[in-house]
């Protein structure tokens, strides 16, 4: 008869500094106080509980940005996860700073692939075995270069390029550590839901990977995806919910006997508050409120930003400010740079920082009309709507695009009311991050556009430009104008709704 033991795995991902609860229909939702309360409640109710975080603790809040992630590490220390893996935003403050933050963490951080190129020395432990209830549970942390774009700037730091390389490394680690009689193996990944499914397909069952807990694509699930016999899960984004596995582990065969998984809403109905953690966060909030509470402007009304995969009011406002202020023909602003669903009507300095936390310099580039059409078509590829975590862009005024997803063709591609000619030259402003990732986002090489005219920096801070223009006048407004008029299939519309949740 098999020896069965129960293991409860709790998991979060892409928390992005979502520390504070919000009022939704008169109920409190989210925040690390009630999240901590739920984790503590489960630890009291169950014997063998492990809580893990699959990347992107950092970025998205003033409290995080103001203290360069140190505040987040201290808050996470109080939340007390058993293990964490890195996401792409963990490197936003630089590799050296990340290594400093790791020293401040009172929990293990695993990552199998970040390494120094010269001698292939890993920057972090690739995995960790945690013993609980007489079971040995192996956690392996995985990233790939496609999501770790900031590391491309650092010539000394290397990482996996492909999912295939990641699979090979998983096999190497499992082959080595299974000798320790590991009872259960968890991949903590931050590569996106679709990539997780590809990775699972490549794993040899003999390696013994039991579950994949992922992040990066902010995927909300009703149930796990089963690929190659492996359940794959995520817990959306922020702290509004937490994933929960209740697993019966066959410790004789070192595999799952049975399991249930569900997404638990973090709200005042079923999650007690952690008042000590609330008081700790309040100290940070009081300091940032004092610094960032000054009002910049009052907009005509509240502007919306419902999804990063469509034209939005906030996106149009920011793109137009940067285009007009910097004197370029077009500005393409990364939708992922805009982090809140709503903006205004009263806008404080803190509101702007929370909505637009990823400040960057502006690079002036020169594109032909043909390159612009090619780049926008790349942006609107099917993968942007079906699962893959691709970059999408908000465009400034004067560009009017009508795109048919069924035929993958433009029905209209106008600038200032006239069809764009292939040999026209446009000055286009890009954030430095998106300039560095021109190939991924637009399928264009920097050398290609430099043939038209060499790029150069024209501003050292996007946020300063936006802040200055917002302060110049009250009652500014922006509307969705059909700059990106997308003729989508019903399937794509539904996918967009899911992505916008």
* pLDDT value at 149 more than 60: no
The residue that leads in pLDDT, 254 or 376, is 376
The verdict on 144 and 47 lying in the same domain is: yes
Q: At what angle do helices 275-292 and 32-45 cross, to 10 degrees?
A: 170
For the segment 203-223, the average pLDDT, to the nearest whole number, is 93
**CA quadruple 292, 296, 298, 302: dihedral positive or negative?**
negative
The verdict on 233 and 308 lying in the same domain is: no
* pLDDT value at 139 more than 90: yes
The verdict on 273 and 325 lying in the same domain is: no
| Chain Cα centroid distance, residue 115 | 22
CATH number at residue 227: 3.60.21.10
Residue 192 maps to a domain: yes
The verdict on 379 and 427 lying in the same domain is: yes
Helix (H), strand (E) counts: the chain: 15, 29
Question: What pLDDT score does 10 carry?
Answer: 98
The verdict on 148 and 260 lying in the same domain is: yes
How far is residue 437's CA from residue 87's CA, in Å, rounded to a whole number? 18
Domain range for 240 is: 4-283
Residue 450 maps to a domain: yes
- Phi, psi angles (nearest 5°) of residue 241: -155, 165
**Alpha-carbon distances, residue 344 vs 9, 19, 389 (angstroms):** 39, 21, 28
For the segment 337-366, the average pLDDT, to the nearest whole number, is 93
The residue that leads in pLDDT, 363 or 253, is 363
* pLDDT value at 150 more than 60: no
Number of domain units in the chain: 2
127 by Cβ neighbours in 10 Å (0-12 / 13-18 / 19+) ranks as: buried
- From 262, 283, 304, give the residue that closes a domain: 283
Confidence band for 151, pLDDT divided at 50, 70 and 90: low
Q: How many CA atoms lie within 13 A of 124 on its CB side?
A: 33
Q: How many CA atoms lie within 13 A of 143 on its CB side?
A: 31
Antiparallel, parallel or unpaired: β 362-368 and 456-459: antiparallel
| Chain Cα centroid distance, residue 185 | 24
- Phi, psi angles (nearest 5°) of residue 481: -115, 0
Residue 166 maps to a domain: yes
The verdict on 333 and 247 lying in the same domain is: no
For the segment 481-498, the average pLDDT, to the nearest whole number, is 78
Structural element, H or E, at residue 285: helix 275-292
- From 229, 248, 283, give the residue that closes a domain: 283
The verdict on 279 and 301 lying in the same domain is: no
Question: What pLDDT score does 405 carry?
Answer: 87
CB 441 within 8 A of CB 379: yes
CB 192 within 8 A of CB 199: no
Question: What pLDDT score does 308 carry?
Answer: 87
**Alpha-carbon distances, residue 215 vs 16, 57, 66, 244, 447 (angstroms):** 12, 11, 24, 15, 33
CB 395 within 8 A of CB 319: yes
Q: Choose the weakest-confidence range: 157-166, 181-190, 215-224, 439-448.
A: 157-166
Question: What pLDDT score does 38 carry?
Answer: 96
* pLDDT value at 460 more than 80: yes
How far is residue 183's CA from residue 208's CA, in Å, rounded to a whole number? 9
Structural element, H or E, at residue 338: none
How far is residue 8's CA from residue 392's CA, in Å, rounded to a whole number? 37
Q: Choose the weakest-confidence range: 93-102, 156-165, 304-313, 446-455.
A: 156-165
Residue 152 maps to a domain: yes
DSSP state of 340: -
- Phi, psi angles (nearest 5°) of residue 52: -130, 155
For the segment 39-57, the average pLDDT, to the nearest whole number, is 96
- From 261, 283, 305, give the residue that closes a domain: 283
CB 2 within 8 A of CB 250: yes
- 126 Cβ contact list (under 8 Å, min separation 6): 110, 111, 112, 113, 140, 141, 169, 173
For the segment 55-84, the average pLDDT, to the nearest whole number, is 90
* pLDDT value at 42 more than 80: yes
How far is residue 64's CA from residue 58's CA, in Å, rounded to a whole number? 6
The verdict on 62 and 194 lying in the same domain is: yes
For the segment 121-136, the average pLDDT, to the nearest whole number, is 92
Condensed to tens digits (0 to 9), the pLDDT of residues 216-248 reads 888 899 999 999 999 999 999 889 999 999 999
Exposure string for 433-468, b = 16+ CB within 10 A, e = fewer: bbbbbbeebbebeeebbeeeeebeeebeebbebbbe
The verdict on 308 and 163 lying in the same domain is: no
The verdict on 458 and 419 lying in the same domain is: yes
Residue 362 maps to a domain: yes
Question: What pLDDT score does 59 carry?
Answer: 77
Q: Choose the weakest-confidence range: 59-73, 139-153, 233-247.
A: 139-153
Confidence band for 28, pLDDT divided at 50, 70 and 90: low
Residue 289 maps to a domain: no
Question: What pLDDT score does 499 carry?
Answer: 57
Tokens of 183: 């009872």
CB 139 within 8 A of CB 174: no
The verdict on 43 and 190 lying in the same domain is: yes
pLDDT above 70: percentage of residues in the chain: 92
Residue 167 maps to a domain: yes
The verdict on 47 and 111 lying in the same domain is: yes
For the segment 343-352, the average pLDDT, to the nearest whole number, is 94
How far is residue 285's CA from residue 246's CA, in Å, rounded to a whole number? 36
CATH number at residue 488: 3.90.780.10
Residue 93 maps to a domain: yes
**CA neighbor of 227 nearest in space, from 241, 242, 244, 214:** 214
């Amino acid at each position: 008869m098999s020896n069965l033991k129960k293991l409860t795995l709790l998991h979060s991902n892409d928390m992005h500094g979502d520390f504070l609860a919000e009022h939704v229909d008169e109920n409190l939702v989210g925040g690390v106080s009630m999240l901590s309360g739920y984790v503590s409640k489960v630890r009291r109710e169950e014997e063998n509980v492990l809580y893990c975080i699959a990347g992107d603790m950092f970025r998205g809040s003033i409290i995080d940005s103001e203290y360069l992630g140190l505040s987040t590490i201290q808050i996470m220390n109080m939340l007390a996860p058993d293990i964490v893996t890195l996401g792409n935003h963990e490197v936003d403050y630089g590799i050296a700073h990340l290594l400093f933050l790791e020293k401040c963490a009172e929990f293990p951080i695993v990552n199998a692939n970040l390494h120094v190129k010269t001698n292939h020395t890993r920057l972090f432990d690739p995995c960790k075995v945690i013993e609980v209830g007489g079971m040995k549970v192996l956690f392996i942390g995985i990233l790939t270069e496609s999501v770790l774009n900031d590391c491309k700037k650092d010539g000394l730091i290397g990482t996996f390029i492909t999912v295939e390389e990641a699979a090979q490394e998983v096999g190497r680690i499992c082959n080595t550590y299974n000798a320790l009689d590991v009872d259960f193996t968890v991949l903590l990944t931050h590569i996106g839901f679709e990539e997780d499914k590809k990775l699972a397909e490549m794993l040899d069952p003999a390696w013994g990977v039991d579950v994949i807990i992922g992040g990066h694509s902010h995927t909300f699930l009703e149930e796990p995806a089963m690929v190659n016999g492996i359940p794959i899960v995520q817990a959306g984004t922020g702290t509004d919910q937490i994933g929960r596995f209740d697993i019966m582990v066959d410790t004789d065969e070192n595999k799952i006997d049975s399991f249930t998984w569900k997404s638990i809403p973090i709200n005042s109905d079923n999650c007690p508050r952690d008042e000590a953690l609330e008081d700790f966060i309040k100290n940070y909030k009081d300091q940032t409120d004092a610094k960032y509470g000054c009002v910049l402007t009052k907009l005509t009304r509240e502007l919306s930003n419902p999804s990063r995969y469509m034209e939005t009011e906030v996106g149009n406002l920011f793109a137009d400010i940067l285009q007009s202020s910097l004197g370029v023909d077009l500005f393409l602003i990364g939708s992922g740079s805009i982090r809140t669903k709503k903006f205004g009507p009263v806008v404080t300095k803190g509101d702007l920082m929370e909505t637009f936390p990823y400040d960057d310099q502006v690079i002036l580039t020169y594109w032909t009309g043909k390159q612009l059409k090619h780049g926008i078509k790349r942006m609107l590829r099917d993968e942007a709507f079906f699962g893959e975590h691709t970059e999408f862009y908000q465009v400034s005024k004067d560009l009017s695009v009508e795109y048919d997803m069924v035929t993958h063709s433009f029905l209209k591609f106008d600038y200032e009311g006239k069809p764009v000619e292939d040999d026209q030259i446009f000055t286009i402003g890009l954030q430095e991050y998106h300039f560095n990732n021109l190939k991924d986002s637009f399928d264009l090489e920097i050398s290609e556009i430099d043939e038209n005219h060499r790029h150069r920096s024209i501003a050292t801070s996007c946020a300063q430009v936006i802040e200055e223009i917002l302060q110049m006048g009250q009652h500014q407004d922006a509307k969705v104008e059909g700059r990106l008029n997308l003729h989508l299939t019903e399937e794509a519309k539904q996918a967009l709704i899911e992505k916008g949740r």
